[in-house]
Amino acid sequence: MKAEIITIGDELLIGQTVDTNSAWIGSELSKAGFDVTRSTSVHDKHKDIVTALNQISAKTDVILITGGLGPTSDDITKPALCEFFKTRLITSSKVLSRIENMISRRGFTMNDNNRRQADVPEACRVLENLIGTAPGMWFEKGGTIFISLPGVPPEMKYIMTEHVLPELNKRFKSQIIIHRNIMTFGSYEAKLAEILSDFEASLPQNIKLAYLPSMGVIKLRFTGTGSNRAALTELIDKQIVKLNKIIPDLIFAKEEEPLEKVTGRLLKENNLTLCTAESCTGGRIAQMITSVPGSSDYFKGSVIAYDNTIKIKLLGVSEEIIEKNGAVSEQVVRNMAEKARNLLDTDFSVATSGIAGPDGGTDEKPVGTVWIAVASEKETIAERFVFGNDRKINIERFSLTALNLLRKQIINKKMV
């Protein structure tokens, strides 16, 4: 079963609005057993909408369309649908009555724009929208189902959940599709693909592996298709067991969870506390940690020692060590981590010092260089990493690398 998605709106194409509808619809259709083959965004132009509809593959079973159903002059999806389906607009008395009641309850006065929202193509079946004014519309042509939905996400999701998905589940005998996400950190995509080349080649024919990289985190997505959910789940589980034996040091989660949540859970489950001493990351690590609900159970605080005077006066880092080695050095970052752990009285501390860019690099310490230290009662470890030239990306990767180094230390020191 194949499906396509069309989103309508200039705001999507020029970046004023992020298209979250396609992602949600695609996820729901996939759960229902559909293979989503294409997602297209088009202008709020009559001709472009009709062209997009005419370009739909004859083998597509379902087309989901969102946007362009509002009360203003730039909402032209319905006239375009009328042209495509060779029909005309009529007023739905049921939709009009519901809009009148909704406008009245809100204390507003009906106008012509509101009334126009009750106009629907005569060839459609109206899908009731109880949380907004624009109805959904269901068409069928040439063996393909076309469903037009409002672009407002809550309204779109309501109609999908209440009307569209139940009807599609009745119409189509769904194949089972299961997605499983394995989260990895510590390698780059090309290298990881090389490591897993034999594993990937040995996968059963009905299981596919995709690499989804983002800021150093690579999500490995297993997609399995079949007719028996239990058997398919067991088959995917077996592949994940094999994967874990190949890259145990790179896997940090066997479901889609961020690194800060996984690391926080390790700390909480083992009654451990943490603080940070951040220079180049400027508090980003602390922000990531505290974005997780319940982080107050294990996170005590952070010292943002951006300037060397703060490293010296607040943390107590030796001025001599900084002068001799430079702020971006193993000696300084070790000292920062140890001093912070003592100052804030925690089990672990993480410290960073680096050159985020775009300026400040040297031949010895180019832009993208960072030293990260993790201190505990047992020992302090420090590692040097070199990334790219983009400041924003560097800060994010510095922070993720620091969290991953902490996670590995908790595990490797057998404190779990």
Whether residue 36 sits in one domain with residue 141: yes
Whether residue 200 sits in one domain with residue 335: no
Residue type, 410: I
| Cβ 37 vs Cβ 1: under 8 Å | no
Which residue's structure tokens are 């780059």? Answer: 188
**CATH code of the domain in which 121 resides:** 3.40.980.10
Residue 31 pLDDT? 85
160-168 contacts, C-beta under 8 A, 24 or more apart:
160/25, 160/28, 162/128, 162/130, 163/127, 163/128, 163/136, 163/138, 164/64, 164/127, 164/136, 164/138, 165/28, 165/32, 167/138, 168/32, 168/34, 168/62
DSSP character string of 184-250: EESS-HHHHHHHTHHHHHTS-TTEEEEEEEETTEEEEEEEEEES-HHHHHHHHHHHHHHHHHHSTTT
The alpha carbon dihedral of 299, 300, 304, 305 has a sign of negative
Using the predicted structure, report yes or no on whether residue 48 has a pLDDT greater than 60.
yes
Q: Buried b / exposed e across 327-336, counting CB within 10 Å, b at 16+?
A: bbbebbbbbb
Entry pTM: 0.77
**CATH code of the domain in which 359 resides:** 3.90.950.20
Q: Please name which of 66, 176, 47, 86 lies closest in space to residue 127, comparing C-alpha atoms.
A: 66
Instruction: Give the tens place of pLDDT for each residue, 337-356.
Output: 999 999 999 999 999 999 99
Band of residue 109 on the pLDDT scale cut at 50, 70, 90 = confident
Using the predicted structure, report yes or no on whether residue 415 has a pLDDT greater than 70.
no
Residue 74 pLDDT? 64
Whether residue 192 sits in one domain with residue 89: no
Whether residue 95 sits in one domain with residue 239: no
Percent helix, strand, coil in the chain, to 5, is: 40, 25, 35
Whether residue 267 sits in one domain with residue 245: no
Instruction: Report the percent of the chain where pLDDT is more than 70.
Output: 98
Report, as an integer, the average pLDDT of 278-289.
98
Band of residue 128 on the pLDDT scale cut at 50, 70, 90 = very high
Instruction: Report the percent of the chain where pLDDT is more than 90.
Output: 81
Whether the bond into 121 is cis, omega within 30 of 0: no
DSSP character string of 47-85: HHHHHHHHTS-TT--EEEEES--SSSTT--HHHHHHHHH
Whether residue 122 sits in one domain with residue 196: no
Residue 416 pLDDT? 44
Whether residue 249 sits in one domain with residue 265: no
Residue 57 pLDDT? 82
How many domains is the chain partitioned into structurally?
A: 3
Q: What length is written for the chain?
A: 416
Q: At a CB cut-off of 8 Å and minimum separation 6, what does 410 contact?
A: 263, 266, 267, 270, 272, 348, 416
Whether residue 247 sits in one domain with residue 152: no
* Residue that is last in its domain, among 151, 171, 191: 171
Whether residue 127 sits in one domain with residue 43: yes
Whether residue 21 sits in one domain with residue 131: yes
**CATH code of the domain in which 228 resides:** 3.30.70.2860
Using the predicted structure, report yes or no on whether residue 103 has a pLDDT greater than 50.
yes
Instruction: Give the tens place of pLDDT for each residue, 86-97.
Output: 999 999 999 999
Of 51 and 31, the structure prediction assigns the larger pLDDT to: 51
Give bridge partners of residue 181 from the DSSP assignment.
221
* Residue that is last in its domain, among 234, 253, 272: 253
Instruction: Give the tens place of pLDDT for each residue, 188-242.
Output: 999 999 999 999 999 999 999 999 999 899 999 999 999 898 999 999 999 999 9
* Residue that is last in its domain, among 171, 189, 216: 171
| Cβ 53 vs Cβ 23: under 8 Å | no
Whether residue 166 sits in one domain with residue 264: no
Using the predicted structure, report yes or no on whether residue 73 has a pLDDT greater than 70.
no
Domain that holds residue 164: 2-171
Report, as an integer, the average pLDDT of 300-321.
97
Whether residue 407 sits in one domain with residue 312: yes
